[in-house]
Every structure is written in C-alpha cells, then in structure tokens.
Structure 1
C-alpha cells in the first residue's frame, strides 16, 4: 500500500520534532482536512537566516571524444544563483472571558474560536503557494504562477496552454516536492509551520475604546518557497472553466491536457521527490466525468496511508496522486500570447 510523505520531511515530520507550544495533532488535522497541499509540501531550512540561496542549473555540457596524445577542453555547467525570501504571517485572537467561562468547557470553546484563525492561515498560505508575488506584495513570498507565466523564460517549456480566453480560467499543476526540486522554506533556528501560543487572560479593548477581560491567543507562520528544478513542475493553464463539458466534446479535454503535462515532467535519472497533481473542485468534477465517458484507464483509485496513519482512497493519474485544492482559483487571466495553445 502506498504511503504518502514517507521519504522527504513534510510539515508533520518537522513540526512533530520542533513543536514548542503544545499538541501538533489538532492543528495538523484541521490543515490536512481543509487543504492537502499544506501537508503534502516538503520543508527545508533557509541557509542564510530568513533567506535561502540556491543555484539553478541552466545548461549541461557534453564531453569531447579524445584521441591518443590529444587533450580535451574542460567544460562546466551553467547556473543561475537565486535568493529566495521568507514571509512572516501573524494574527491574534481575543475571546471574551465571560463567554468562555459560561460555556462549561473553556478548552473546547477556545479551540472552536481558534479554528477560524487556522482556516485563515491555511487559506492565505495555500493561495500564495500558487499565486504569491513579491512584485505585488514585497513582504510576501514568490509562489508558483509568477514562475510559470513568462513565455520568454526557460520554464515556459513546462507550461501547457489549454487555450482559454477572458478571466474565468484555472490551472492544473504537477508539483514535484523534494529537496532537489520544489520545497517550502522556514528561517534558520525558527519553528516550522503554524505556531500557536496561549497568552492567557488579558485586558482587551473594543472598537469604541472600552475594556473587557479576554483570553488571547497568538498565531505565527514563517513561510517561503524555492523551486530548485523548474523541469520538475508543469502548469496546465488557460483552462476555461465556463467551457468545460462532461464529454470533452467542446472545451478543454482534461485527460488529453494532463497526458501532455505528464510527458513534460523531467525529474532526472534519480527520484527528485514526490510528484502530486493539484486541481480545484470544479476541474476535479469534470475530470471524473470526462474519464468515465471516455472509458479512461489512466485514472484509478488506490488505498493509501495518510499522514495520520489512516487508510484512504486516493485518485491517481498516470501514477501520480491527484489532490483537490480550493486554493486554485477560477478567475485566472488567459496565458500570454507567447504560449501556443495545445
């Protein structure tokens, strides 16, 4: 039986070692249930404080045939140095002490209030993994879409254009998580993932300047992203959501597009990591229906062991797990003209 995330350090692995403020399980359960990309991702510690310096190989030289008594020139690979940044997300929660005390179960009441905060962090981090841009938000981190949106960049070979126009498009992503491919970052000497601290009873202030006693919680998440090997990922962009049909007679043929996406993956001779496919719930619905109508054999279900050790049925395409994420929007712009429609 396949086991998810059993080779590279995921958030669960690292946070279980570094947990500073209490039980990991409740928060991780909420994150995993609400958006699997948070627990799929591999984490790596920054090598320069809050920044991470890495080198992307852009060219591989070929050797020269040698004759007796003749030398050969030395060659070297061509590389580009990259410096990735991390971002710091924080939030506080104040809950009226009187409400907590009369609830009869203070711990459960405060946990239910904190769940909304956890959801907010989850939504923000998941969305920025795909769409984060330091050009738009300098204090944030660079996500996937800005790295795979330029037809003049080397990563353009990893973009499949489904041909959608307008502003009601979405993408399917193949992401290879691993130390040598794509990973999330956390600053050196800092806890990994979403951190929580119970600050106890405080005197809080309302919107009109009045005071009341409250229980306060503090939340923090240091997060960044690095793509060390751009050939380990594929973006299928320009999927016109409004044109999707259950038999692919018109609109995007999802199976065909994903087959092309799978063929463009290049993770080398060694296993760089674990490749996972991501799509939103609209695409997932049409994907299943198109596969059923086409009697497709590339989609299958397997029993897998999740991060919590529980068995679950997992959808696979071409040997890769397919995970649903609502972080992928249905309001993406069409791909630039430089990307030829597939």
Structure 2
C-alpha cells in the first residue's frame, strides 16, 4: 500500500513538472521568435531605401511584387572608399516572370559608352552612380536597355566578402584555370571564402575574355549565394547574416516583397538564364577606352527583356 501511494505521488509530481517544461520550451521559442522578428524589422528599416527618397528630382512609382506580374531589378556592386563616391563596377539587370517561372540575368560591361541620363554627357555607364547615385544609375540603365526598372539592390563590395564568410563560403564550377598573385583558381569545382570570391569576381586582365570573363564569374558567385542562402542551415546563421546585410546592402524591396520574392524564386523551373553582350567592340576616345555595343545585338537584348517583362 505504501509503495502504491509512493507511485501515485511520483505521477502527480511528474504531472506538475511537465507543464513547467512545456511552458519553459514555449517561452524560449517565443523569445527566439520575438528576437528574430525584432532583428529582421530592425535590419529591414535600415536597408529599405525607397528610390524617391534618394533624390528630390526623382518621382518613380513603387511597383508591388505579385505572384504573376513580371518585374525587374538592377543589382549594383559598388566599391566605396573613403572620400570617394565609388563606381558601380558591377551592374546586373535581372528580369523575373513569375507566371512563366523564369528569370533572366544580364551583365552590363562597366566600360559601356552610353548617355548618362541627367548629366548631359556620354560616358562609361558605371560612372552614372558616381555622378548621381542610385537614381541616376537606374535612369541611365533604363534608357540604355529601353525597359523599366522596378527595384534596385545596392551592395558594398567590401561587405560582399563578409556575407560569403557568414554563409560558410560558396561553391562554383570554374570554367577556366586562373591565377592572380598568390591566388590560384583551378578549373572545375572551387570552394571560395569571402576574400577569394571577391578576388575571383574582380579578375580581368588575367582572363583572355577580359571583362566578359569577369561577368561570368560574378553571375556564378551570385547564383551560388542565392542557392546557399536558400538552404535550411542558413536559418541558424540568420542573426549574423542580418547584421552583415544591414551594414552593406540597400534596396527598395519591403520585407513583405522579399518574402514573396523568396517564394517565387523557389518555384523557378530552372536556374537563371544568362544573357551577355558578345558582339561589341572596344575603342579609345580622348585616350579613354570604351566598350561600344553592337547595335543589332543591343536591339535583340532589349527585345528579349521587353518580351520577358510583358
């Protein structure tokens, strides 16, 4: 009888303990979720910069991402140094068609000679950012490609390497053996940390393809980052990633649109279709080297992007 009473007391004791355990676990989850929610909103408030706020002269209606409507994004990779506005050494246009489940990516050669909208001159397209920031860069690229640009993403390239290190590095398929100083990148599968990825995407003269080879490597690294960032293990590094993103990225995507964008990206049929300028030529004007696009090829690219955005 005494043994039976002891077992009853133990059961009652366990019944009392379990609510505390469950309550403690729920409390920890709520604290984690609350902290994550606060951190995400804090970061989004920092990086979200609507285009109309970057210049008094620009009045551009903000597009809203939907599940069906196509949209376009200008990716600007900028080297910003002390006492220097920086130049957008990386200019990539991405068009997304959710209904077709397709995405296209076009790298614009940074030395491309074109009209700098709002500056009344023709110059290298990557100078547009130095002259007038994001609004002038977007207006110039819109004019050059004859398509509307709905969104922009600005990345400080020095912070680029921190982002990759936070992800634990990225893996790409290198199509050409390359050496730059002490850095060697063999042909085939290559694992890159942040510093290596930055060097890998900047190589120009060591690649016989010049700036075009650099564009290929930039696209490879961007795709690798997107792929790595969408894996479940990245959630464990979310806090560190948000801190790095907050310091080095500016965009006019809202938090809601980013969530929508992630859902769209996961549904894409295949990776990102690459488009490139291949038929232009180089020339010197006033002792400055420019890339002059082939007119027929430019028209073809414009037409392809317009069709994708319809």
The TM-score normalised by the length of structure 2 is 0.27
Structure with higher Rg: it is 2
Higher helix share: 2
